[in-house]
């Protein structure tokens, strides 16, 4: 069930927030660190089209957090540019990823005329509950749109937490 999946994962934080050492790891129910890329299933409930989403940047925060594709277990860390920690304007919706998806950099999309950005699909969760970095939310898809970011296609999937009061009313 969807409720049991929510209890399957928790976070382990290493290092201080807003530091280059900060990492959020995801643990399974047994306390074992897992990779969101490989160990969290795409679907929470395939029959009902409910997906798992991992929150990277919680609502109303501005540290530019993202998955580490290079580090073991793919923790979430604060992004750097030119050796400095990155910050963004306050993020209204939760920002995260739909795991086990990929924007292929070798494929040019016919509508955007640009290749994928070599990342999982971005998810933007619009529900009312404020999440936390590393939280695994069960979401339903409401729509998609594409952005061009530095010449690459960057798909955004608009989702809502299935536990949100508005979820049953939105499709």
Give which of 5, 91, 12 is closest to 53, Cα–Cα. Answer: 5
* CA 26/CA 147 separation, integer angstroms: 29
Tens digit of each residue's pLDDT (9 = 90 or more) over 86-105: 998 776 666 777 767 888 99
Query: What confidence tier does 135 reach under pLDDT thresholds 50, 70, 90?
Result: very high
> With 60 as the cut, is the pLDDT of residue 155 above it?
yes
Retrieve residue 27's tokens: 């643990």
Q: How many residues does this entry show for the chain?
A: 171
Estimate to the nearest angstrom the gap between the alpha carbon of 131 and the chain centroid.
Answer: 11
* Structure confidence at residue 6 (pLDDT): 56
pLDDT digits over 5-62, tens only?
556 899 999 999 999 999 999 999 999 999 988 899 999 999 999 999 999 999 888 9
d(CA 99, CA 79): 19
CA 45 to each of CA 5, 28, 48, 165: distance values in angstroms, whole numbers, following the listed order: 10, 18, 6, 19
Structure tokens at 12: 């382990």
Q: What is the mean pLDDT of the chain?
A: 90
């Amino acid at each position: 069930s969807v409720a049991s999946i929510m209890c399957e994962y928790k976070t382990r934080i290493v290092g201080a927030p807003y530091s280059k050492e900060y990492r959020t790891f995801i643990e399974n129910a047994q306390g074992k660190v897992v990779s969101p890329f490989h160990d969290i299933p795409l679907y929470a409930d395939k029959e009902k089209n409910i997906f798992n989403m991992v929150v990277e940047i919680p609502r109303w925060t501005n540290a530019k957090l993202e998955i580490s594709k290079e580090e073991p277990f793919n923790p979430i860390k604060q992004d750097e540019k030119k050796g400095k920690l990155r910050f963004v304007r306050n993020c209204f919706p939760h920002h995260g990823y739909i795991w086990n998806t990929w924007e292929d950099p070798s494929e040019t999309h016919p509508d955007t005329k640009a290749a994928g950005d070599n990342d999982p699909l971005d998810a933007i969760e619009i529900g009312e509950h404020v999440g936390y970095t590393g939280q695994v939310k069960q979401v339903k898809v409401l729509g998609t749109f594409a952005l061009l970011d530095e010449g690459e296609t960057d798909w955004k999937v608009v989702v809502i937490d299935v536990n949100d009061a508005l979820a049953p009313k939105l499709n």
